[in-house]
Structure 1
């Protein structure tokens, strides 16, 4: 693990592990012990194979400057490549907007409830937050990944500290009434069905995968696939160790009914725990700080993907006239204005947009790379029927559950 690999491992972790991890314990814990064990087993192969497939999709072109928007044109032609670029952009942009809005709300709540100050102007707060995030986002890939790497360390530390703080509240409720016959019941399968898209979102780092692939092409040339797969694997192992320690620690101090109550109240797991154990006021103070750090670093990682998408749209719509620094400037201005508006207005439509982006993301992450492996000669060397079938099934489950959320 040299400094290059470590920087990218932490950047992938930082992109993936954001606010979603604060809701994963709720969805996973409602079904008791057995669904938790099943998703723990599924987590690594599902997340690793999907992201490795997307990385290989980008590595199909040896040109280091060819990111996902240009590679998709190589595979599908001008029209198909443009369609994939648009889908890629609209799969990532909604998540970016959700982070900008939720960051503003979380900061204002923290300012009022924890710090005890008067309510500030949302217009001003949203402007400052989005401006700071965009300034960091436009520093370039190397600096962005370095900033994310720095933010990751305190986030990992805080998650582990909170998991350890919950140990005195552990009880045996999770292990009581464990009936292995429940795997034949509809509730067990319903819990798994609904938790898979949440897990996909909680571990999703696809927006930064294209940047990783391009960087590895520059750094390792013909060894890019081997090294990028190694980086992705180590990042996911780190995610699983930290996140599932947190998930199981939460599950061991609460009951399935507690998780159902948290879902009904529409609060994240730390907020519910702080209310459930009022003597842990420290948690109530930590919760918004964790959320702010988590969403800030995820915003930076998602911006790299969003920038690629919009730059690709501008390039193709202008027949190559808008590219490089000019495209980056236009992308930054457009993203800033949209993110600032959404952060200020905080429209309720965000949830619907996110649900629409979910299926699109699953298509791009699970289905498209697998299809390309069997369609295009340059990728056929990666064929593995058993693993490919598994990842397609997981993708279809994630898509169907996300669509069900819309309905």
Structure 2
């Protein structure tokens, strides 16, 4: 394995440190897609949504735990996922996974640059009555601010993520409660007329939507390294504790929001919102004649985009640095500090350019990124547990079978969605 054994001083459980990582991982998962998730998830019907709601918690927790364990079990406390995969599977396979990992996450970072620019511009023009600023200036300032938080260090990033995510949780919870008087239960009476085959097909195609709504794998590598540096041999145990609480938080707040929106919209409202291609809060604001909800839409989007940008940037920067190290594995040509600066400059310039161009390719890029993320998150750790001696203590568990089946179903569902 590349890298040497690094001595690690184990620390007692630090609840504040763990809590900050729970919030950071939550923020990575809850991206701008939360605004469309109720429409996408509810379109398949009430009973498939109920089944997926039950399945998504173990799927999310067990898959992210397996990926974290794969990194925590590596000998070095400094090897990220790109180094770990090369050490486990060899140089060729490691390079392939590194490239795929980068290509899966990097486009999402670019789209977040577009999304934050569009959201702020819309807020300034439509809600605040201000003139639209030059796009190249607005996008550059916003991307620079988000990157400045990351470059300031892990500690600053965790603190700022907390500032962003707590209001996001409050808004999601507030909208969930606000919509309760508008719930329509006709979805339950209208459901159940289809065949078992149709039910299973709908559930199958819904699973990928839910997986990526709860995906925080881009931050798992740096999260696991942080655990190793903090807790040493107990890193996998502490990481599992954090990931379990993250999953509970995600399912509680995100799925409560989804169910409340779906019940408030009803069958006809879901169809109209999908046809209008509007974020769920924008559609609800129009239907309920409640202007303050139209203000919540941009607030949720801004908080969600910024918090999710951090985690995805970490993963993309990690992948890009791993690709550079193909030609300079020991850092003799490009020192680590220079590499970090170069990666940051590349990420800023390309994200800025794409934000100025303002392409409309969000769903396409997410679809193309989807299969690779599902493979890396679900199938790669299961293969590693089966093959690598460092992970043999995790073999022979029912959870491995569950995650493997979920991964195959997810990849097949994504490919089926692309074809259809």
Shorter-normalised TM-score: what interval?
A: over 0.9
Conservation of the 8 A alpha-carbon contact between 1:27 and 1:194: no
CA RMSD of aligned residues (A): 1.6
Q: Which residue of 1 aligns with 2:253?
A: 242
Aligned mates of 1:133, 1:317 — CA distance in 2: 30
Conservation of the 8 A alpha-carbon contact between 1:60 and 1:71: no
Q: Residue 76 of structure 2: SS of its match in structure 1? A: coil
Alignment of 1:328 onto 2:340 = yes
Give per-residue Cα distances to partners, 1:87-135, cap 9 Å, x unaligned.
1111111111111111111111111111112222212211111111111
Aligned mates of 1:384, 1:25 — CA distance in 2: 37
Q: Which residue of 1 aligns with 2:327?
A: 317
Q: Residue 75 of structure 2: SS of its match in structure 1? A: coil
Q: Which residue of 2 aligns with 1:357?
A: 369
Give per-residue Cα distances to partners, 1:170-220, cap 9 Å, x unaligned.
2222332343x646141x233212221111111110011111111111111
Conservation of the 8 A alpha-carbon contact between 2:185 and 2:266: no
Q: Residue 171 of structure 1: SS of its match in structure 2? A: coil
Structure 1 residues 178 and 351 mapped into 2: Cα distance closer, same or farther (>3 Å)?
A: closer
Match of 1:222 among 233, 245, 256: 233
Q: Which residue of 2 aligns with 1:33?
A: 46
Aligned mates of 2:369, 2:29 — CA distance in 1: 16
Alpha-carbon deviation of 1:59?
1.4
Q: Residue 90 of structure 2: SS of its match in structure 1? A: helix
Alpha-carbon deviation of 1:34?
1.0
Q: How does 1:160-171 map to 2 (within 5 A)?
A: 160-171=173-184
Give per-residue Cα distances to partners, 1:66-89, cap 9 Å, x unaligned.
111111111122222122111111
Structure 1 residues 353 and 31 mapped into 2: Cα distance closer, same or farther (>3 Å)?
A: closer
Q: Residue 204 of structure 1: SS of its match in structure 2? A: coil
Match of 1:296 among 306, 326, 345: 306
Q: Which residue of 1 aligns with 2:263?
A: 252
TM-score, L = length of structure 1:
0.95
Q: Which residue of 2 aligns with 1:81?
A: 94
Q: Which consecutive unaligned segments of at least 5 residues does structure 2 have?
A: 1-13
Q: Residue 79 of structure 2: SS of its match in structure 1? A: coil
Give per-residue Cα distances to partners, 1:128-173, cap 9 Å, x unaligned.
1111111112112222122112211100001111111112212222
Conservation of the 8 A alpha-carbon contact between 1:30 and 1:191: no
Match of 2:149 among 136, 155, 159: 136
Aligned mates of 1:354, 1:36 — CA distance in 2: 21
Q: Which consecutive unaligned segments of at least 5 residues does structure 1 have?
A: none
Structure 1 residues 194 and 272 mapped into 2: Cα distance closer, same or farther (>3 Å)?
A: farther
Q: Which residue of 2 aligns with 1:264?
A: 275
Match of 1:124 among 111, 121, 137: 137
Alignment of 1:275 onto 2:314 = no
Match of 1:210 among 212, 215, 221: 221
Q: Which residue of 2 aligns with 1:383?
A: 395
Q: Which residue of 1 aligns with 2:188?
A: 175
Aligned mates of 2:191, 2:283 — CA distance in 1: 24
Aligned mates of 2:227, 2:400 — CA distance in 1: 24
Alpha-carbon deviation of 1:349?
4.2
Alpha-carbon deviation of 1:323?
4.3
Instruction: Single out whichever of 321-330 and 156-165 deviates more from structure 2.
Output: 321-330
Alignment of 1:21 onto 2:31 = no
Match of 2:208 among 194, 197, 200: 197
Equivalent pairs, count: 404
Q: Which residue of 1 aligns with 2:19?
A: 6
Give per-residue Cα distances to partners, 1:270-293, cap 9 Å, x unaligned.
111112212x11001110111011
Alpha-carbon deviation of 1:387?
2.2
